[in-house]
Structure 1
Amino acid sequence: MEAIKLIKTEEDYDKALKQLEIVFHAKPDTPEGDLLEVISLLIHEYEQKHYKIVPLTPLEALKYEMEEQGLSQSGLAKRMGLSKSTISEILGGKKQMSINFLKFMHNELGIPAHILLAY
């Protein structure tokens, strides 16, 4: 196995991922377990800098969940007891989501509250 070093390039990153695969099932408090922890930290640091994941907005989360659940605008309107035009305005960004709508998104669609409250 190669020596551990900082991940500075995509090539270094690929090598680190391969090293991670080798020790992935290592037991804690063993030399392999320590190696797993160090490699994981290095990979995490590199990914935070180069592959930052931007959280979804509530609207993006709604559209994603609708697609995942096969829910049309009409279906969402029916479940919420709203008109299709209201749903259309919300999805088009023309109308703000009400507190009750946000609660529905959390309770009924399973969208995490931290996404709904972030914006």
Structure 2
Amino acid sequence: MEIKPIRDEQAYREALREIAVLMETDPALGTPEGDRLDVLSTLVEAYEARTFPMDLPDPVEAILFRMEQQGLSPKDLEPMIGKRNRVYEVLSRKRPLTLAMIWRLHTTLGIPAESLIRRPAEH
């Protein structure tokens, strides 16, 4: 089983093709094919993390995403942000989040604090 690091686009595409073939056979864990699939997947994941890094969303995008996930309305954010007009100011990027708001959004909705403390994107 010769496996090499993925260093370029061609090796990346080849690894993806081989993963697709292996996944069709659904190899059992601990078999040579299963081990190969595991190692190739790990290499592809490492290559993608280096080549296509994903940045955290800005705070408003993180809040809107969680609202969509949980079917929340701006009214549902009032306990975490304040009165409805303040919620709308935050969601429209007219008012920054305070530390207290960040803490409540993080603990109540589980939004990563790292996303909430970022500077909002200019829209």
Q: TM-score, normalised by structure 2?
A: 0.70
The residue identity in structure 2 corresponding to 1:60 is: E
Deviation, 1:34, is 4.5
- Confirm or deny: 8 A CA contact 2:80 2:105 kept in the other structure: no
The residue identity in structure 2 corresponding to 1:91 is: L
Change in 2 beyond 3 A, CA 1:96/1:20: farther
Tell me how far apart the structure 2 counterparts of residues 95 and 57 of structure 1 sit (CA, whole Å). 14
Counterpart pick for 2:14 among 12, 15, 19: 12
1:6-62 C-alpha deviation (Å, 9 max, x unpaired):
4624742531331552576422xx644552343123312332255432211222111
The residue correspondences of 1:1-119 to structure 2 (distance < 5 A) are 4=3, 6=6, 8-9=9-10, 11-21=13-23, 22=25, 25-27=28-30, 31-32=32-33, 34-77=35-78, 79-80=79-80, 82-119=82-119
Tell me how far apart the structure 2 counterparts of residues 62 and 81 of structure 1 sit (CA, whole Å). 11
Structure 2 residue runs of 5 or longer lacking an equivalent are: none
Greater RCO structure (CA 8 Å; 6+ sep): 2
Partner SS for 2:109: coil
Structure 1 residue runs of 5 or longer lacking an equivalent are: none
- Confirm or deny: 8 A CA contact 2:105 2:111 kept in the other structure: yes
The residue identity in structure 2 corresponding to 1:115 is: S
Q: For this pair of structures, how many residues does the alignment match?
A: 115
Change in 2 beyond 3 A, CA 1:118/1:75: closer
